[in-house]
Amino acid sequence: MHRITVIGGGLAGLTAAISAAEAGAKVTVYEAHHTLGGRARTAEGPYRTNDGPHALYNGGPHWAWLRRRDLIGPLGPLPPLEATRLRLRYQGALRRTPPFAMLKLLRRGLPQAPVDVDFLTWATGIAGEEGARAAAHYSAVALFHHDPGALSAAFVQERLRRATKLPPEAHYPRGGWASVVDRMAAHAWNLGVRVETLSRVDTLPTDTPVVVATSLDAARRLLGDDSLTWPSGRTALIDLAVRTRRGDAFAVSDLDAPGWIERFTAQDRTLAPAGEQLIQGQIPLAPHESRADGVARAEELLDLGFPGWRERVTWRREAVASGRTGAVDPPGTSWRDRPAIDRGNGVYLAGDQVAAPGVLSEVSFTSALTAVTLALAQPGLGRRRGHRDPLDLKQA
């Protein structure tokens, strides 16, 4: 029987553990925190917040994988009336529809954007500079980056398409992401996976293949490998509970600058006590900006979409997420250029900043499956010379 060690009990670690156990491996998961979930962890208490706005996209491979195993569970559907309350800030005012120039970048049949050109340059040639900037700022909901227009055009275009698709790809597990994590953990347990929480690993085991399913920063420290770096976002997070008021927006997207505010109780009333609404937002920060700068911009969006919110606040929390929002690809790079999954000597990486395709959490999923495939092919050893990553074969 194969034996595999997984370090990290977040989405990537649980995916790796389940797929390895289903293949017949004996799996042990080590998680430093007292609960599983990683960045998909949902806060306990009356306000069921996630680490920033969270949604599951049904257009990626992880959706089908989770559904086949009945791990998604009940979803919080967005009522049609709430869907009409999406608002856009453009040129300082709140609007119901995007500028016409931006729509040029959403039409069907648009050619694939190039990898080696920044999005703003490429999009300006199609929609003009104003339309290109509005589209770039809207895409920040799936990027968490302060300057989406400066990133690879191909990278941003994919996320823009996914974030604006109709019907929407985004879905919301009822009770927050912890409900999905709990089902994944129970499934892993039923498969015989051994899970040890409050178990920080400082030295890699040498008697089994190891899947390191942590943040890239943690993996760099654990492996002592300074090459494990890749650009990510830095964003101010704001969580609010407010007393219910009829007419509040469902979400406000900032087209003048990157930013997103969303009322998550619009689709899931279980996230806050009766009579209250849970609002979560993310405002990407430039290197020179502080958390206070991001919070000030968030409050501008709240003023527009949630009149009188200050007098209705019952709970509030602010934070900054730095390097914890997934990989972003600069011009001239793609997912293939990120740190490789196979690190040699039976060590494999999984997470949202490594060399695997997908949007946001999908990268964690695809990298975890690839890591397990390679680990089972050569237990305790690195990849065979000439052996190709199965995702490379599919995406080539």
CB 214 within 8 A of CB 348: no
Distance CA 304, CA 261 (A): 11
> Dihedral sign, CA of 54, 59, 61, 67?
positive
Distance of CA 206 to the CA centre of its chain: 31
> Tens of pLDDT along 239-257?
999 999 999 999 999 999 9
Which pLDDT score is estimated for 310?
97
Query: What is the arithmetic mean of pLDDT over 172-199?
Result: 95
For 158, the 3-state DSSP assignment is helix
- Check whether 68 has a pLDDT greater than 60: yes
214 vs 392: CA distance, rounded Å: 22
| pTM for the predicted model, two decimal places | 0.92
Q: How confident is the model at residue 44 (pLDDT cuts 50, 70, 90)?
A: confident
pLDDT band at 383 (very low <50, low <70, confident <90, very high): very low
Residue 55: the pLDDT is 85
Q: Alpha-carbon distance 132 to 126, whole Å?
A: 8
Q: For all residues of the chain together, what is the average pLDDT?
A: 92
Confidence of residue 65 (pLDDT cuts 50, 70, 90): very high
User: Does residue 167 have a cis peptide bond before it, meaning omega lies within 30 degrees of 0?
Assistant: yes
DSSP, res 241: E
pLDDT tens per residue across span 5-37: 999 999 999 999 999 999 999 999 999 999 999
382 pLDDT above the threshold of 80:
no
Confidence of residue 396 (pLDDT cuts 50, 70, 90): very low
The 8-class DSSP code of residue 141 comes to G
Phi first, then psi, for residue 12 (nearest 5°) are: -65, -45
pLDDT bucket at 149, cuts 50 / 70 / 90: very high
Q: What is the pLDDT of residue 60?
A: 84
Lowest mean pLDDT among 151-160, 270-279, 384-393: 384-393
- Is the pLDDT reported for residue 104 higher than 60? yes
pLDDT value of position 53: 73
Domain locations in the chain as residue ranges: 3-47+61-72+175-230+333-395, 98-166
pLDDT score recorded for residue 133: 98
At 251, is the secondary structure helix, strand, or coil?
strand
* pLDDT score, position 1: 61
> 3-47+61-72+175-230+333-395 in CATH: which number?
3.50.50.60
Its sign, for the CA torsion 324, 326, 331, 337, is: positive
343 pLDDT above the threshold of 50: yes
**Token digits of residue 367:** 């990298």
